[in-house]
């Protein structure tokens, strides 16, 4: 095994730098300074992507150039009782029992570990390797804006190693494409009536990455709230509803305030027992509460009914499983965020599919529902699927190295999540790509964890792989 201390050193360093999606200037500048201090050819583009080059070891000058690639931003989620300020506070790393996690926040191993591994490799002269290029992109988590803005003319790599997978037992060679749909209901208000007012809150859910975790069929807090409201729709008028934080995170908390024309305590208690029983295995931390409150005004009854109906009927979760790859989700959507937005109730969906026509059909289904219920809708932030290249020489070399190093065959994986490889293929059509990485768990949630030994394992693989590309 090679010395991986530098990997954890750099992971610790970048964890001190704010790097939520959209707030990446400081981490981008850090990467640029890293390159300049060591005499590397380094460039920062307008999207804050960072390109860096390192010359080949003696004897490797004629080997194919290899790109090490990851993204600098992270999903910023924290627990309800956390006072963490992602704009200035460092991520507090906690090491215990071979696991690294944070203190009530996301860890940022997605994709900070790729940045740390690339920096550790570039900062060492002990390894044998071809000409190297580092590409660290921005804003991957909020639409892959960095990857969209990449200038392929700045890169020469024949092979690209995307270090953004979350299982160490194989390589990802294909991923889903996707799109975000935004639905807007225009706010319409009535003065508050004399009916009793309530707040329903759902929290305690596992949440997680909407691509990687959707197959686990965890509870969606927004859908749980909507389900109860729909069951008593004729008796209530909504005043506010909110839930979720990120388009690619399954909502783990939501709430709604409303007035009711009669006491709904018995209906709520029945629903609470039913829903907690349904998720007693899949999401046993589910908490649901109903409390009396005060409300100054409500939405109109018409808007309340349309909004509740939409959220209750809107699809969420697995739409279809792959017929070609066992255990792979083919098509899904995540009803991810409900929030106020400039006089509208804004509802965000993240749709994923490895089949373009299936994705379009799911888009149309949500569009049809929105139009029936008099809402505006738009699709944006689309990204293409990454198709499997069976005859890839890079994959062949990678499989051999993996077997030689670990004495077992790697699994060849496709994932139901977006990787930047799909977009990067547009800029680098002749570049072969694979994705790998250490074991990460519950990414995009405050329970995010990374296995230390798995990091060691995959950095060792990276060193051996580059040495064998001649």
Q: What is the pLDDT of residues 135-180, one digit of tens each?
A: 999 999 988 899 999 999 999 999 999 999 999 999 999 888 889 9
Please, what sign has the CA dihedral across residues 75, 81, 83, 89? negative
In what order do the strands lie in the sheet containing 66-71?
41-44, 50-54, 132-137, 66-71, 159-162, 432-435, 170-175, 411-415
**Pairing label, strands 159-162, 93-96:** unpaired
Contacts of residue 313, Cβ cutoff 8 Å, sequence gap at least 6: 369
Q: Do the beta carbons of residue 237 and residue 258 sit within 8 Å?
A: yes
Q: Do the beta carbons of residue 463 and residue 2 sit within 8 Å?
A: yes
Report how far residue 152's alpha carbon sits from residue 143's, in angstroms, rounded to the nearest whole number: 19
Q: Among the residues of 38-141, which ranges form H helices? A: 109-122
The strand pairing partners of 321, in sequence order, are 329
Q: Among 58-62, 218-222, 300-304, 380-384, where is mean pLDDT lowest?
A: 380-384
Q: Do the beta carbons of residue 337 and residue 243 sit within 8 Å?
A: yes
Tens-place pLDDT, residues 84-121: 999 999 999 999 999 999 999 999 999 999 999 999 99
Domain locations along the chain: 5-176+385-467, 179-383
Please confirm, yes or no, whether 467 is among the known catalytic residues.
no
Long-range contacts of 263-271 (CB under 8 A, 24+ apart): 263/196, 264/198, 264/232, 264/235, 264/236, 264/290, 265/290, 267/231, 267/232, 268/200, 268/228, 271/227, 271/228, 271/231
Please confirm, yes or no, whether 140 is among the known catalytic residues.
yes
Tokens matching residue 2: 């090679």
Tens-place pLDDT, residues 215-269: 999 999 999 999 999 999 999 999 999 999 988 899 999 999 999 999 999 999 9
Catalytic entry in 73, 363, 432, 446: 73
CATH 3.40.630.10 fits 5-176+385-467, yes or no: yes
- Give the pLDDT of residue 1: 56
pTM for the full predicted model: 0.73
Report how far residue 447's alpha carbon sits from residue 464's, in angstroms, rounded to the nearest whole number: 32
Contacts of residue 85, Cβ cutoff 8 Å, sequence gap at least 6: none
Tens-place pLDDT, residues 209-223: 888 899 999 999 999
Report how far residue 279's alpha carbon sits from residue 276's, in angstroms, rounded to the nearest whole number: 5
Give how far Cα 211 sits from Cα of 220, 367, 378, Å. 14, 21, 21
- Give the pLDDT of residue 356: 83
CB atoms within 10 A of CB 263: 10
- Give the pLDDT of residue 417: 80
Catalytic entry in 110, 133, 140, 420: 140
Please, what sign has the CA dihedral across residues 213, 215, 216, 218? positive
Tokens matching residue 35: 């390159």
CB atoms within 10 A of CB 317: 17
Q: Which fold has domain 179-383?
A: Alpha-Beta Plaits (3.30.70)
Mean of per-residue pLDDT scores for the chain? 95
Give how far Cα 411 sits from Cα of 14, 167, 347, 464, 466, Å. 31, 10, 37, 18, 20
- Give the pLDDT of residue 328: 87
Give DSSP secondary structure letters for 320-357.
Answer: EE-SSSTT-EEEEEEEEEEEEETTEEEEEEEEEESSHH
| Nearest in space to 225 (alpha carbons), one of 196, 205, 249 | 205
Tens-place pLDDT, residues 327-346: 889 999 999 999 999 999 99
Q: Collapsing DSSP states into helix, strand and coil, what is residue 283? A: coil
Share of the chain above pLDDT 70, in %: 99
Tokens matching residue 179: 């799109």
- Give the pLDDT of residue 248: 87
């Amino acid at each position: 095994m090679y010395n991986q201390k530098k990997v954890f050193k750099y992971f610790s360093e970048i964890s001190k730098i704010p790097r939520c999606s959209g707030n990446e200037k400081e981490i981008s500048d850090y990467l640029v300074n890293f390159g300049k201090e060591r005499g590397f050819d380094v460039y920062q583009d307008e999207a804050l992507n960072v390109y860096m080059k390192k010359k080949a070891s003696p004897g490797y000058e004629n080997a194919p150039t290899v790109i090490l690639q990851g993204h600098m931003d992270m999903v910023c989620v924290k627990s309800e009782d956390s006072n963490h300020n992602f704009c200035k506070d460092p991520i507090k790393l906690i090491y215990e029992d071979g696991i690294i996690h944070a203190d009530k926040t996301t860890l940022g191993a997605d994709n900070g570990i790729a940045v740390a591994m690339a920096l550790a490799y570039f900062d060492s002269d002990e390894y044998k390797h071809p000409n190297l290029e580092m590409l660290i992109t921005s804003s991957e988590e909020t639409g892959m804006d960095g990857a969209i803005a990449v200038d392929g003319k700045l890169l020469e790599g024949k092979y690209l190693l995307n270090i953004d997978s979350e299982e160490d037992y194989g390589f990802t060679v294909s991923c889903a494409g996707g799109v975000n749909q935004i639905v807007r209901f225009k706010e319409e208000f009535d003065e508050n009536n004399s009916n009793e007012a309530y707040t329903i809150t759902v929290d305690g859910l596992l949440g997680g990455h909407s691509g990687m975790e959707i197959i686990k069929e965890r509870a969606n807090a927004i859908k749980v709230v909507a389900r109860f409201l729909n069951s008593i729709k004729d008796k209530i008028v909504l005043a506010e509803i909110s839930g979720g934080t990120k388009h690619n995170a399954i909502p783990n908390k939501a709430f709604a305030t409303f007035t009711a024309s009669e006491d709904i305590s018995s209906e709520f208690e029945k629903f609470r027992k039913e829903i907690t029983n349904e998720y007693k295995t899949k999401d046993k931390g589910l908490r649901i509460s109903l409390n009396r409150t005060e409300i100054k005004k409500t939405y109109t009854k018409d808007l309340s009914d349309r909004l509740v109906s939409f959220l209750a009927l809107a699809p969420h979760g697995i739409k279809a499983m792959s017929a070609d790859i066992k255990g792979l989700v083919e098509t899904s959507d995540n009803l991810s965020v409900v929030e106020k937005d400039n006089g509208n109730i804004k509802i965000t969906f993240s749709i994923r599919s490895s089949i373009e026509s299936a994705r379009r059909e799911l888009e149309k289904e949500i569009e049809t529902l929105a139009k029936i219920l008099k809402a505006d809708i738009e699709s944006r932030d689309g990204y293409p699927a990454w198709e499997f290249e069976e005859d890839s020489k890079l994959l062949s070399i990678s499989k051999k190295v993996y077997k030689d190093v670990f004495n077992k065959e790697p699994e060849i994986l496709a994932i139901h999540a977006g990787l930047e490889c799909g977009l990067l293929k547009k800029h680098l059509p002749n570049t072969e790509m694979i994705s790998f990485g250490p074991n990460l768990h519950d990414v995009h949630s405050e329970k995010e964890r990374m296995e230390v030994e798995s990091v060691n394992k995959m950095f060792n693989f990276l060193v051996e792989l580059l040495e064998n590309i001649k």
